[in-house]
Structure 1
């Protein structure tokens, strides 16, 4: 009787295993791949615009906010390699997410301010993360978000507040939202709130990498604060087990 029961259990296990292969997505995970590339300006790099000149007495809180020359952040191009910083690249609605990336490993991200400038200027925030807003300035600031789906916040941050205040954004946004300081109106930044890991901001060399995407055709959106959408449907074929190098993605100054 014991041998018979063991045989029945073994047979049942084999049948269940076989059925799993017939149900899509239950037995084998999708294959995954990565992409990398660089956003580059096609043409002459424009001269940087001085937003606040050192010592300008007309600047509010000039001892802090005009302690040095501050350049505009609305189009940052590396003069050495023409890389374009702060371009958002993202999948709008991924069909699958790599099992290791379904939740954020870091549950907080820091949004700071120094010299009356937000740092970073462009930020990816996942819906399961809290933004810790801090200040390293000896003057008061406020943080005012402008979301489409989440609840807006608008609060004062005391001078040199290194503990900070938490901001939650539990709903994915349609596109990056502006964050500003109403006390110092030149202070702007952009957050993009997503519920997945497939979003990135280009670095100081214009470089970007997104890892562990589902293999196959993926459609990305490319967005920059000066223009809005640079491309709503940028298609890439992700290869399983490989990193696809997209090379240089070029834009002219007139594209912005």
Structure 2
């Protein structure tokens, strides 16, 4: 009887130990900090080429797609402050994630089509989010993705489809992937699928902010569609409880060639 009791005690101890083993592990970062900065074009602001001229009858679905003049969007520099838009800044992997950011608050992100142009042109999407592809145009569009790891999609979107179609990307990608409309071949955009919150796209002023990063030395990658990698090892020393201003990060015309 005594041996049986001892065995039961040992079994209970093993079970409790096992439960503790599989219990969620608390975040191990020494602290959390944020970074901010601005990508700036070093030199004369490049002119954006005309992609579609207003009223051009040779443009497919010209009544919609050439209702206005559209400029190329593969390198967008703000003429007022030289800020570079649509640069991806991201951590390749994230060992520690702030408790508030482990899951995305917004479970969907919208990818729209207006005037035969994708909006936004550059998009961060996490693996726990769905992309809702919509169209505001009175003509049909096609959405074709070119991932490395996820399942590609290629579907027609009906005119004025405001309900949209849902796209899942459950696997983090290595690089931003191109998205195209095969019906209107000038329509391109880029999605970057990540499994953590530490990725951002620079805004119309070239500015960016990433909050609640693990404190300590962190390595980022900087990527743009014209060049690919602008920097594969951009190191930042994140400080606990502080927002580190990285100032202006400058790139010349030759950096995009």
On whether the aligned pair clears a TM of 0.5, the verdict is: yes
State the SS of the aligned residue for 2:64.
Answer: helix
Distance 2:44 2:51 in 1: 21
- Residue by residue over 1:102-154, the C-alpha shift from the partner in whole angstroms, topping out at 9 and shown as x without a partner, is 00000000000000000000000000000000000000001000000000000
Q: CA deviation at 1:254?
A: 1.2
* Structure-2 separation of matches of 1:30 and 1:133: 39
> How far apart in 2 are the matches of 1:127 and 1:64?
34
Give ranges in structure 1 of 5+ residues lacking alignment: 1-24
Give the aligned length. Answer: 233
Contact 2:29 2:215 in 1 (8 A): no
Per-residue deviation at 1:211?
0.1
Matched with 1:116 is 116
Match in the other structure for 1:42: 42
Write the distance in 1 (CA, Å) between the matches of 2:227 and 2:199.
Answer: 18
Tell me how far apart the structure 2 counterparts of residues 198 and 26 of structure 1 sit (CA, whole Å).
19
Distance 1:28 1:139, change over 3 A: closer
Deviation at 1:226, TM superposition (A): 0.5
The change in CA–CA distance for 1:56 and 1:246 in structure 2 (over 3 A counts) is same
Q: Cα 1:139–1:218, aligned 2, differ >3 Å: closer, same or farther?
A: same
Q: 1 CA distance for matches of 2:28 and 2:76?
A: 43
Gap runs ≥5 in structure 2: 1-24
Partner of 2:60: 60
1:234 aligns with 2:234: yes
- Give the whole-Å Cα distance in 1 for the aligned partners of 2:180 and 2:148: 15
- Which residue matches 1:151? 151
Query: Residue 83 of structure 1 aligns with which residue?
Result: 83
Aligned equivalent of 2:73: 73
SS in 2 for 1:197: coil
SS in structure 1 at match of 2:95:
coil
Q: State the superposition RMSD in angstroms.
A: 1.3
How far 1:94 moved relative to its partner? 1.3
Closer, same or farther: CA 188–240 of 1 in aligned 2, 3 Å: same
Deviations for 1:167-190, whole angstroms, at most 9, x for unmatched residues?
000000000000000000000000
1:244 matched residue in structure 2: 244
> For the structure 1 residues 218 and 57, does the alpha-carbon distance in structure 2 shift closer, same or farther, using more than 3 Å as the test?
same
Summarize the Cα distance change of 1:28–1:50 in structure 2 as closer, same or farther, 3 Å threshold: closer
Output aligned runs, 1:92-241, within 5 Å.
92-241=92-241
Partner of residue 12, structure 2: none
1:30 Cα deviation from its structure 2 partner: 3.0
Moved over 2 A (4+): 25-30
Aligned partner of residue 100 in structure 1, secondary structure: helix
Q: Distance in 1 between matches of 2:121 and 2:57?
A: 25
Decide whether the 8 Å contact of 2:27 with 2:99 is kept in 1.
Answer: no
- Aligned partner of 1:5 in structure 2 is none
